[in-house]
Structure 1
Amino acid sequence: MDISSTFSQYDKQTDVGICVYDRGGHYIYINDTFLKIRKVSREEYLGLTPYDLYNNNLTDKCVMDAVRKNRATTTDVQTVFSKDGKTVLRKHLVTLRPIFDANGEIEYYVGYYKDLESFNEEYDDKTAPRHTNTDERGFRTMIEGEPEKVPFVAVSENMKALCQTARQVADIDSTVLLTGETGTGKEVFASYLHTISKRRTHNFVVVDCAALPETLMESELFGYEKGTFTGGLSTGKKGLIENADGGTLFLDEINSLPMSLQGKLLRVIETKSIKKLGSVKPQEVDFRLIATTNVDLVKCVAEKTFRADLYYRLNILPFYLPPLRERRDDIRPLVSRFLNEFQQQYGVRRELSENVYQEMMEYDWPGNVRELRNFIERSVLMGATALEPWTAPPPEPEKKVFSLSRTASEDEEKKAILAALAANNNHRERTAQALNISRRTLQYKLKKYNIV
């Protein structure tokens, strides 16, 4: 995949600076917006790396270091200095994401840059605070405050940093894209982002794109006028997007949205208006969009199951929620919180020995926070007074993985799909999981290869 040519198609379609780096960190693509933000020539950058800028005191931090260390998308505020390293020229909101090759190694880095001052000027109003860093003391008070005020535990350094960035952008209306493994708490994080924003007094509307039947999805999202459908409500119906007016619209697993609706959603995002089914008159709607995905949308764009222009509209403020194994400092306080919750709910008393805590700290929790919470609930219901000895949750049965490499021929891809279907007794959801693709992508490929 020539990733630089992929981005170059959209040079004129974004006000965000975009850079692509090779595995060594060298700039291999820079869009026009980035050059305007940096106010330097393309020739000055090609052949350099972010390390060159950092080592010469032209920037205060190298975000690429964090990406290489954590192998995950990282968002941070970066300061750019003059050539003598003494004068602050500007600040950027930087998001850097890794692109992995077939062997799981980082092949490219894609960076998104937004000038912080223009960010404030574009989105600030009389009721929105300036986009500034939160002091350490105030930040800790918010993140480690009362349980009823903070819906999740953020004691580990990477979760603290994530929440700090969330507070920096809470009152900015740009779209947010949340990625991470299943069970990491993306919906909880989205709700937190809503509750600390200026929109907190309005609705937080949750839409599970994977659960809505495709035949009903359009009417559920956009609503309809009276008389549009036989059997429909005589008064018509308000859609979910309209319900989010003034608040936040949360689209879970947006990768499951059919291609036929992706274009309509893109128009809604661009125009901030909807058109109900059966209506010819657009209606303005004001909402902040937060979306999640459980698959790599860049791969979906390459497979033509997700629109590239919609992806770029969504990926303005990307957040990666780390799995529990990468935030082990949160395990003990999470256990304490869940124990208190379920002891109150079920009216029983349970304790954990230090040995059990140590075993929990060493377990990898493939189901993440959701698995930990379920295990504590089961232990409260079934365990003895002291939960000892430790009994780890049973591992999931090993699943055979069927690879759908981007370099595979159509014949190889079809054979892999047929093999996965056979191994999973034609169960579509399990087949999609075995192929590591969304069910929507599987449906597209079944249709493509005429597989019934």
Structure 2
Amino acid sequence: MTVSLSDITRAVESSYDGIWITDAIGTTLFINEAICRITRLKRENVVGLNMRTLVERGMFDVSATLLALEKQDVVTILQHVSTGVETIVTATPVFNTDGTIDKVISNVRDITELSALKEKLERAEARNLAYQNEIARLKSRLEEDGKLIAEDQTMQSVMRQAERIAAFETPVLLHGEPGSGRHRLARWIHDHSERRRQPFIKLGCGALPEERLERELFGSEEIDDTQGAARVRPGLLELARGGTLYLEDIAALPVAIQMKLANAFSCGVHYRHGGDKPVELDLRVLSSSTDDLDQQRRNGGIRNDLYYQVNVYRIDIPPLRRRRKDIPLLARQFLDQLAKRYGKKIGISTALLAKLRDAPWNGNIRELRNTMERLYVNSEGQTIVSGLSPAEGATHAAEGTPEEASLKRILEDTERRVLQQAYSRYETTYGVANALGISQTSAVRKARKYAIKVRQPGRPGVA
């Protein structure tokens, strides 16, 4: 089967992209209909004219064809047309058998149209991420029955505070030990607020390096070298639009990020990394801290402005050892969740519940949850009657005794010395975390707790 010239002409004319053909000196031989549509130029005004003439007349700011003839190679450029259109042009020289150029064929695309399509795609991707986050949240709620246990008076007081503040837009600081339920209470507040139908976005503030954290939080804009268009990646501040942003362990944020975040909260807008266009904020902020945030402020661990912005309303979540009445109820709740997940219902003896109630639970609810799953997996009958480790089975000592206070000071002094030596040797939080076998978040938090100066990569030491 042979292809005729008329077949080729029809194919070129039907191309969605613009096709511009010149001879070996840059004189226009042919343009297809797409060129007229994209550039808004008429055939009679360009065919037969040299590209150099068209540039001199101001029809184009630069010619890919002339550059391809000069370099004798493929050239891709961003081109501005006098009609106000911005195009991306790839000019490809066609060579004779003797190595001389016969023609130049240019492929022309409307970058304005490409940018609009790209922006629509990125918005769709952002919505998809938000929907995925919401689906995960709803799935988690179904698994956990959406119920917070609060039979103990101390926790009932916390829930009264949470119920009161959920109806407002007021920023809330949740203070409590790791594993005490800060994240779950933050989500409960969101679920009972006017923003409950919008995304709940969580950020672990000490989980990422500073540059990546900035991009994750504020988003980014980068120029795509192949297309010349800005590639926009929305950050968590945008993904949380209309909903709630939960900043876990906020004091672990690097100081530079704290400053940028405080400015965003103050002005109501933020700027993406690499961008210069303001992006409006529309979200509620919930934060959490394991250490005393006021002490962190005095030690320079958190900026004054950010501290006062997030600490408008504070809720102190008690550790599990101070809400022992809730322990048997939580244990049964975790067993019910496991039964739904695995399709096997297992009970627990009253005697074992009493032991659980009296255990120290230094890891709080997280430790209790893990313990109940281990007991469930190891159970051989219909009722769990034993299986606690010696540490879990140990009864809690009287709290607040002089011996305990003295031991606490000794442990803190020892921890301080170990950390000071580690920072003296390894300098950065990542080096110390790796050497001591702890998370980078813990390394940051402990350095601020003991006012240890930490060297940031490429920066002088800061507290």
TM value normalised by structure 2: 0.57
Correspondences of 1:92-111 after superposition (within 5 Å):
none
% of aligned pairs identical? 30
Q: What code does the residue aligned with 1:281 have?
A: K
Query: Pairwise mapping of residues 425-444 of structure 1 onto structure 2 (< 5 A)?
Result: 426-427=435-436, 429=438, 437=446, 444=453
Deviations 1:43-70 (A, max 9, x none): xxxxxxxxxxxxxxxxxxxxxxxxxxxx
Cα distance in 2, alignment partners of residues 356 and 173 from structure 1: 43
Taking a change above 3 Å as real, the CA distance of residues 260 and 374 of structure 1, as seen in their structure-2 partners, is same
Is the CA contact (8 Å cut-off) linking 1:180 and 1:322 kept in structure 2?
A: yes
| Structure 1 residues 243 and 175: alpha-carbon distance in aligned structure 2, compared to 1, 3 A threshold | same
Inter-partner Cα distance in structure 1 for 2:228 and 2:346 = 51
The residue type paired with residue 388 of structure 2 is T
Alpha carbons 2:297, 2:303 under 8 Å: kept: yes
Report the Cα offset of residue 306 of structure 1. 1.6
Query: How big is the shift at 1:276?
Result: 1.6
TM-superposition CA deviations, 1:278-311 (whole Å, max 9, x none): 3222121111000111222222222223212211
1:269 aligns with 2:265: yes
Q: 1:328 aligns with which of 295, 312, 324?
A: 324
1:243 partnered with 2:239: yes
- 2:393 is the alignment partner of 1:383: no
Q: Does structure 2 retain, via aligned residues, the 8 Å contact 1:222–1:275?
A: yes
Letter in 1 for 2:454: K
Contact kept, 8 Å, 2:296 with 2:448, in 1: the verdict is: no
Native 8 Å contact 2:172 2:313 kept in 1: yes
Q: Does 1:165 align with 2:161?
A: yes
Q: Does 1:284 align with 2:280?
A: yes
- 1 or 2, which has the higher helix percentage? 2
1:37-116, aligned counterparts within 5 Å?
A: none
Report how many residues are paired: 301
Q: Where does residue 403 of structure 1 map in the other structure? A: 413
Counterpart residue type for residue 299 of structure 1? Q
Distance 1:147 1:434 in 2: 33
Partner of 1:197: 193
For 2:348, which of 346, 352, 359 is the aligned residue? 352
Partner of 1:182: 178
The alpha-carbon deviation at position 215 of structure 1 amounts to: 1.8
Instruction: Tell which structure's C-alpha radius of gyration is larger.
Output: 2
- TM-superposed deviation, 1:217: 1.1
Query: How big is the shift at 1:164?
Result: 1.4
**Shift of residue 414 of structure 1?**
4.5
The amino acid across from 1:264 in the alignment is K
On the 8 A contact 1:404/1:416 being kept in 2, the answer is no
Aligned to 1:342: 338
| 1:175 Cα deviation from its structure 2 partner | 0.9
Distance 1:440 1:162, change over 3 A: closer
1:118 aligned partner: none
For the residues of structure 2 that align with 1:445 and 1:334, how far apart are their CA atoms?
Answer: 40
TM-score normalized by the length of structure 1: 0.58
Q: Are 2:265 and 1:256 aligned?
A: no
The 5 A counterparts of 1:194-233 are 194-227=190-223
Distance 1:210 1:443 in 2: 17
8 A Cα contact 1:295 1:438, kept in partner: no
RMSD (Å), alpha carbons: 4.0
1:115 corresponds to: none
Quote how far apart the aligned CAs of 1:148 are.
Answer: 6.5
The equivalent of 1:132 in structure 2 is none
**Residue deviations 1:205-255, cap 9 Å, x none?**
111111122121111111122418999996311110011111101111111
> Partner of 2:371: helix, strand, or coil?
helix
Could you tell me how far apart the structure 1 residues matched to 2:363 and 2:320 are?
8
Inter-partner Cα distance in structure 1 for 2:413 and 2:286: 30
Do structure 1's residue 361 and structure 2's residue 370 form an aligned pair? no
- TM-aligned CA deviation for residue 388 of structure 1: 2.3
C-alpha distance in structure 1 between counterparts of 2:155 and 2:234, whole Å: 37
Distance 1:232 1:364 in 2: 60
* AA of the residue aligned to 1:207: L
Write the distance in 1 (CA, Å) between the matches of 2:418 and 2:460.
11
Deviation, 1:162, is 1.2
**Structure 1 residue 369 displacement after superposition:** 0.8
In structure 2, relative to structure 1, the CA distance for the partners of 1:432 and 1:347 (3 Å cut) is closer
State how far apart, in whole Å, the 1-side matches of 2:163 and 2:145 are: 14
Equivalence for 1:299: 295
Question: Secondary structure of the equivalent of 2:338?
Answer: helix
The SS at the match of 2:386 is coil
Partner Cα distance (2:418, 2:363) in 1? 31
Change (3 A) 1:286 1:184: same
AA matched with 1:254: I
